[in-house]
């Protein structure tokens, strides 16, 4: 049962990836992206990372998809993206991607052969451990990422304001 549900969500991810490659409509692309994000959250739940799955849903499925749809609708011709043509660069890029994919699969098969079998069960609960270690062990990255968020929001507003025309 567990395995069947996993296979269904993995197949959804693969189908959405194919749709993302071949679609010509940017809004459809954003919806495929949303589907991939939700399935990724399900995969996080399979690995006992419930809080990460929740933040994935909130940030990606809630925030980033909305931003992408906004960006798509503020630019013209978002439903008439030119079709994938078999030019020299497309063929070259697909060869490179298939090469990277097979290289990754080769490395991962070696890795999982060495790692298989020794699953150590996570002893503590998810959320208390993350909360405690964000405030003790990872407090510096936490503060820096908060600062990064502030800077990027101010920077995005500055880039979009009309002042940039006079620079």
- Contacts of other proteins in 2-41 (CB under 8 A): 2-3, 6, 10, 13-14, 17, 20-21, 26, 29-30, 33, 36-37, 40
> Is 79 near other proteins (CB under 8 A)?
no
Shortest CB 85 distance to other proteins, Å: 10
**How far is residue 127's CA from residue 54's CA, in Å, rounded to a whole number?**
11
> Is 82 near other proteins (CB under 8 A)?
yes
Shortest CB 67 distance to other proteins, Å: 6
Q: Which of 8, 135, 143, 155 binds other proteins (CB under 8 A)?
A: 155
Q: Which of 8, 70, 135, 139 binds other proteins (CB under 8 A)?
A: 70
Give residue for tokens 């849903």: 57
**CB-count exposure of residue 36 (10 Å: 0-12, 13-18, 19+):** buried
Question: Which among 105, 4, 25 is positioned nearest to 68, based on CA atoms?
Answer: 25
> Is 136 near other proteins (CB under 8 A)?
no
Q: Which of 1, 163, 164, 166 binds other proteins (CB under 8 A)?
A: 164
Q: Are 29 and 71 in contact (CB under 8 A)?
A: no
Q: Which of 8, 98, 135, 139 binds other proteins (CB under 8 A)?
A: 98
Q: Which of 1, 88, 120, 163 binds other proteins (CB under 8 A)?
A: 120
Shortest CB 83 distance to other proteins, Å: 10
């Amino acid at each position: 049962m567990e395995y069947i549900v996993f296979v269904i969500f993995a197949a959804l991810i693969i189908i959405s990836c194919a749709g993302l490659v071949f679609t010509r409509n940017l809004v459809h692309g954003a919806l495929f992206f949303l589907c991939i994000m939700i399935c990724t959250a399900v995969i996080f739940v399979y690995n006992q990372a419930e809080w990460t799955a929740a933040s994935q849903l909130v940030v990606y499925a809630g925030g980033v998809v909305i931003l992408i749809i906004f960006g798509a609708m503020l630019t013209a011709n978002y439903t008439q993206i030119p079709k994938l043509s078999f030019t020299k660069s497309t063929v070259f890029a697909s060869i490179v991607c298939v090469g990277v994919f097979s290289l990754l699969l080769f490395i991962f098969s070696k890795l999982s052969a060495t790692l298989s079998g020794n699953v150590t069960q996570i002893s503590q609960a998810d959320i208390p451990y993350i909360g405690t270690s964000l405030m003790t062990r990872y407090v510096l990255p936490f503060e820096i990422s908060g600062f990064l968020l502030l800077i990027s929001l101010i920077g995005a507003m500055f880039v979009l304001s009309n002042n940039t025309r006079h620079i």
